[in-house]
């Protein structure tokens, strides 16, 4: 009869498992493949139109719920590095949106109430609205002046054949790569040296 000591479970937990490693590798390739296939179906003219809204906006406001909102916060940081005036909706320092400003919003379903309300309010104030969504006929898209459709499954579409990943993961992943592409394109146009962008990087971290 073997006796398990307190030290053994910790040791076993750190033991490489071939089957688990194979599973991780397989799923990493699955995620990358889904991102690549979905990103290739995003209309570049839609992305260019959204980038133009950002380029000519007086100030940029970003809004989104959950993981989509986190992606747009990352996008906001990059736009700030370009020297744009950027605000995150809901933060205590975000001012009132006005005509000439741009609201950049994301919602896979296009029906997230807080995001739709923000878009409608921004439009009513004369601001431009640019959105990322899976649904071109959604209330969010209807309030927008520029729409980028990301052909991914919605987070409640658990039986979707579009993606094997959970919930809205694919939308959020392609949202991230698309916002990065927008930043990269705007940066290309500005031709700012990376050392100059770095001067705007947070130094109170």
Which one is catalytic: 91, 172, 189, 205? 172
- Tell me whether residue 195 is one of the annotated catalytic residues: no
> Rounded CA gap, 11 and 38, in Å?
41
In degrees and rounded to multiples of 5, residue 61 shows phi and psi of: -115, 140
Per-residue HEC secondary structure of the chain comes to CCCCCCHHHHHHHCCCCHHHHHHHHHHHHHHHHHHHHHHCCCCHHHHHHHHHHHHHCCCEEEEECHHHHHHHHHHHHHHHHCCCCEEECCCCCCCCCCCCCEEEEECCCCCCHHHHHHHHHHHHCCCEEEEEECCCCCHHHHCCCEEEECCCCCCCCCCCCCCCCCCCHHHHHHHHHHHHHHHHHHHHHHCCCHHHHHCCCCCCC
Task: Please identify every residue annotated as catalytic.
Answer: 172
């Amino acid at each position: 009869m073997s006796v398990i000591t307190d030290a053994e479970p910790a040791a076993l937990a750190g033991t490489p498992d071939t089957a688990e490693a194979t599973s991780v590798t397989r799923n990493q390739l699955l995620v990358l493949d889904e991102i690549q296939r979905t990103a290739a179906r995003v209309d570049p003219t839609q992305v260019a139109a959204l980038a133009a809204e950002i380029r000519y906006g007086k100030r940029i406001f970003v809004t989104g719920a959950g993981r989509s909102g986190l992606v747009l916060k990352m996008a906001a940081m990059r736009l700030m590095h370009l020297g744009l005036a950027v605000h995150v909706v809901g933060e205590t320092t975000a001012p009132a949106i006005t005509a000439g400003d741009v609201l950049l919003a994301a919602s896979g379903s296009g029906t997230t109430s807080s995001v739709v309300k923000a878009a409608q309010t921004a439009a009513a104030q004369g601001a431009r609205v640019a959105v990322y969504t899976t649904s071109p006929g959604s209330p969010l898209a209807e309030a927008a002046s520029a729409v980028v459709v990301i052909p991914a499954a919605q987070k409640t579409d658990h039986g979707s054949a579009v993606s094997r990943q959970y919930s809205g993961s694919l939308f959020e992943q392609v949202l991230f790569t698309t916002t990065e592409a927008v930043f990269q394109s705007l940066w290309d146009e500005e031709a700012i040296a990376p050392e100059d962008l770095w001067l705007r990087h947070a130094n109170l971290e």
